[in-house]
Amino acid sequence: MTEKLYYKDAYIKEFDAAVLSSVELEDGTFDVVLDKTAFFPEEGGQSSDKGYIGASRVTDVQEMAGVVHHYCRSSVEGDAVRCVIDFDERFEKMQCHTAEHILCGIMHRLYGSENVGFHLGDDDVVFDVDTVLTREQLDEVRALANKAVYENRAVSTHFPSPEEITALQYRSKLDLKENVRIVNIEGYDSCACCAPHVSFTGEIGTIAILDFEKHRGGTRIHMLAGARAERDYAKRYGVIKKISALTSEPQETVADAVENLVKTLENTRQNLKMARLKESELRAELLPQSDSNAVVLLGDYTVPELIDFSNAALSKVGGMLVALAGSDGDFRYVISSRTCDVRSKAKEVNAALAGRGGGRPEMIQGSFASSLAEIEAYFK
């Protein structure tokens, strides 16, 4: 059994330990077991700590049958090796994890919600409860949770005896009676949990509920707290500020302004589509009747617009109608014909004009990397 320093003190950043074993694995990494550790393993939905044992990088930590295995990039030896945890990252997880206890404790008290899932990754924090909650209810929970932060309540842990535990009221996913570690947040929550937490709720900082959705008959909640919430706030504020500047709208009303812009854009797209269709018909009318091939350049048309034009103009052309959009070296093409199988010519055409594409016997589409002069000369 590895002595678990993280149960005694969640704030240990560095410690010395003896290496009991360092075994090379098939992938060239090493499985290192120490006599004691402050590295918290992946457990209960929380990703493991990272850091260094000596000069070796610790990339993952797992507990198996009471023994903590540190997965390291290189081998380590010694009776007093310096171990250093990436503590900024660990502390952020302590902030988020303790915040999750407060949120769940409040939901349990107000709405009888039970926590049925938890994921605390290197970036995101998600938990599930078994009740369907509304935006209004979650707003209330968030406000109360932040109040718990301002009150700077004590967070304590203890291992009650089997006799004590039967008399205790606490949240738990498992029905254990021995070695149950109870985490108590004064006035807010009591929960069985093995992870590291902050000592006072004031260390958590802001608690933010980012999003929520219905999930398996309950609610899935996306949250952040502390340093992660602070960075997230700065990132989102930057985005809103930029949108506000681009739209020349105050930040408070920018969402409505963008909604209007999207509607206007959709109308404009429809108008452009109608105008292009009209233009295609007019250009088709202007095309002289001929029995040979015709090459027509149509500015920045899309492929569907090239097809509209081709359908409108095909009756004028006895040979192949080559409708182009783009510029030298970068053309989109639609080639159609009433009299010959253009699909059978695709290979030859593409080879001659640095092209790619294909389609049906009456119409092919693709791109040319050649110039307009080269295309015109080829189809002359």
Burial class (CB in 10 A: 0-12, 13-18, 19+), 357: middle
Stretch that binds Zn ion, among 31-39, 187-195, 226-234, 254-262 (CB under 5 A): 187-195
CB of 72 to Zn ion, least distance (A): 26
Toward Zn ion, which CB reaches closer, 40 or 52? Answer: 40
CB of 126 to Zn ion, least distance (A): 15
| Residues 318 and 291 sit within 8 Å (Cβ to Cβ) | yes
C-alpha 190/C-alpha 106 separation (Å) is 11
C-alpha 196/C-alpha 25 separation (Å) is 29
Residue closest to Zn ion, measured at CB: 193
| Structure tokens given for 115 | 């926590």
Stretch that binds Zn ion, among 3-11, 57-65, 122-130, 192-200 (CB under 5 A): 192-200
Query: Which 50-69 positions form the footprint of Zn ion (CB under 5 A)?
Result: none
Instruction: Write the single-letter amino acid at 158.
Output: H
Instruction: Kindly state the number of chain residues that form the binding site for Zn ion, as judged by CB under 5 A.
Output: 2
Binder of Zn ion out of 193, 223, 296, 322 (CB under 5 A): 193
Beta strand 51-53 with 125-129 is: unpaired
Toward Zn ion, which CB reaches closer, 99 or 295? Answer: 99
C-alpha 67/C-alpha 107 separation (Å) is 35
CB of 52 to Zn ion, least distance (A): 25
Q: State the CB neighbour count (10 A cutoff) for residue 252.
A: 9
The H or E element that residue 242 is part of is: helix 226-247
Of 12, 199, 221, which is closest to residue 106 (Cα–Cα)? 221
CB of 193 to Zn ion, least distance (A): 3
Toward Zn ion, which CB reaches closer, 190 or 293? Answer: 190
| Structure tokens given for 127 | 């938990």
CB of 125 to Zn ion, least distance (A): 12
Binding-site string for Zn ion from residue 195 to residue 214, where x marks contact by CB under 5 A and - marks none: x-------------------
Toward Zn ion, which CB reaches closer, 36 or 181? Answer: 181
Which spans of this chain sit near Zn ion (rule: CB under 5 A)?
193, 195
